[in-house]
């Protein structure tokens, strides 16, 4: 077991504290300034607000159409995550447990999605969606996110499923359990740490994505939170008190989700590293 000396621990602690300050300072400044007026931001950008008022949040919520944007982002993100986890978990289980022709080729083909960014194929993707009448639709955006997220999710889930003990599944098979029952009630629950890791990574990527909504969505009623923030920034580029409030509202869901599932996320990462 690796033992760390006391001076090394102190240096490591100092480095981590500095790293946290570097990361947290911009977010803290953004959040603090969201409660200030324009004059307070320019005169005292790093001081606490004199009064705690949510007027900036109310005005930004109304003017940036954040209510509709939140509903669109929640619907698109949850639907995309459900599709990614369902398809990739079934695909990973088949690749991990069944031996069939072209199995290795299929796995390599899936991994190619990690090496080739989806943005390189934006023109074919747009043309294909346009041919099926899926441009400017939430369904088209969900299909894009599911198809681009399967590669990473399948890779992670397959590595976890390869380590699951076969004896449990063989016992269930002897008791008369069907392949679907074994997958749904045995393999999937045991892969929960990997599902949390895949879900959080894809949640952050989908929620923060600006590129594909900008290409696919044209209606204001269907825009996501990043797209609504961008449009709001263009209209109110000099009103920083409203912009900081809108940006603060856009990062709240990610912070809440991470704080709720941080223990499972760290556990999944650690378990994957050990394996």
Backbone angles phi, psi at 2, to 5 degrees: -75, 125
* pLDDT of 82 above 90: yes
Indicate whether 34 belongs to any domain.
Answer: no
C-alpha 204: how far from chain center: 2
Render pLDDT for 197-231 as a digit per residue (tens, 0 to 9). 899 889 999 999 999 999 999 888 899 999 998 88
User: Looking at the predicted structure, is the pLDDT value of residue 75 above 90?
Assistant: yes
Confidence of residue 264 (pLDDT cuts 50, 70, 90): low
pTM (two decimals) = 0.85
d(CA 32, CA 25): 10
pLDDT digits (tens, 9 = 90+) for 228-249: 988 888 777 678 888 888 888 8
Q: Which domain holds residue 247?
A: 56-274
> What's the confidence (pLDDT) of residue 265?
63
Question: Does 51 reside within a domain?
Answer: no
Please, which pLDDT band fits residue 269 given cuts at 50, 70 and 90?
Answer: low
Helix (H, G, I), strand (E, B) or coil at 190: helix
Structure tokens at 186: 């045995």
CB 56 within 8 A of CB 242: yes
DSSP H or E stretch at residue 119: none
Given a contact cutoff of 8 angstroms between Cβ atoms, the answer to whether 200 and 77 are in contact is no
How would you class 87 by CB atoms within 10 Å of its CB: exposed for 0-12, middle for 13-18, buried for 19 or more? middle
Please write the tens of the pLDDT for every residue from 93-133.
999 888 888 888 988 888 888 888 888 889 999 999 999 99
Q: Read off the pLDDT of residues 145-200 as tens digits, 9 standing for 90 and up.
A: 999 999 999 999 998 888 888 888 888 888 888 888 888 888 888 888 889 889 98
Q: Is residue 234 part of a domain?
A: yes
Structure confidence by residue, pLDDT tens digits, 13-41:
899 899 988 988 888 888 888 888 888 88
- What one-character DSSP code corresponds to residue 184? I
pLDDT at 81 over 70: yes
Place of tokens 């045991």: 190
- Answer whether 247's CB lies under 8 Å from 61's CB: no
In a domain? residue 8: no
265-270 long-range contacts (CB < 8 A, ≥24 apart) are: 265/196, 265/197, 265/200, 267/193, 267/196, 268/193, 268/194, 268/196, 268/197, 269/197
Residue 116 located in a structural domain? yes
**Nearest Cα to 47, choosing from 59, 58, 33?**
33
Mean pLDDT taken over the chain: 86
pLDDT, position 215: 92
- The answer to whether position 69 is within a domain reads yes
CATH code of the domain in which 252 resides = 1.10.3720.10
Which residue is listed with tokens 């490591």?
A: 12
- Under 8 Å CB-to-CB from 265, ≥6 apart: which residues? 196, 197, 200, 258
Q: Is the pLDDT of residue 274 over 50?
A: no
If one counts the domains in the chain, the total is 1
Share of the chain above pLDDT 90, in %: 33
Which of 225, 215, 228 lies closest to 136 in space, CA to CA?
Answer: 215
**In-domain check, residue 111:** yes
pLDDT of 130 reads 93
Does any domain span residue 18?
no
Q: What are phi and psi of 44, to 5 degrees?
A: -135, 70
């Amino acid at each position: 077991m690796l033992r760390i000396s006391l001076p090394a621990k102190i240096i490591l602690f100092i480095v981590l504290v500095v790293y946290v300050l570097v990361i947290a300072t911009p977010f803290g400044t953004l959040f603090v300034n969201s409660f200030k007026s324009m004059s307070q931001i320019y005169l005292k950008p790093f001081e606490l607000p004199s009064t705690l008022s949510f007027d900036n949040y109310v005005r930004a919520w109304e003017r940036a159409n954040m209510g509709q944007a939140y509903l669109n982002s929640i619907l698109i993100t949850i639907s995309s995550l459900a599709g990614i986890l369902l398809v990739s978990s079934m695909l990973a289980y088949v690749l991990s447990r069944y031996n069939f022709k072209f199995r290795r080729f299929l796995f390599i083909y899936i991994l190619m999605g990690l090496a080739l960014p989806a943005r390189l194929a934006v023109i074919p993707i747009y043309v294909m969606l346009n041919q099926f009448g899926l441009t400017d639709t939430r369904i088209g955006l969900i299909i894009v996110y599911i198809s681009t997220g399967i590669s990473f999710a399948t890779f992670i889930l397959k590595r976890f499923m390869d380590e699951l003990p076969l004896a449990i599944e063989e016992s269930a098979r002897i008791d008369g359990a069907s392949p679907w029952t074994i997958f749904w009630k045995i393999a999937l629950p045991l892969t929960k740490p990997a599902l949390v890791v895949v879900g959080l990574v894809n949640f952050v990527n989908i929620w923060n994505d600006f590129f594909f909504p900008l290409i696919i969505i044209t209606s204001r009623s269907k825009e996501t939170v990043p797209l609504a923030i961008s449009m709001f920034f263009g209209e109110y580029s000099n009103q920083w008190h409203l912009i900081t409030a809108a940006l603060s509202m856009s990062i709240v869901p990610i912070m809440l989700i991470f704080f709720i599932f941080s223990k499972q996320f760290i556990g999944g990462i650690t378990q994957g590293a050990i394996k």
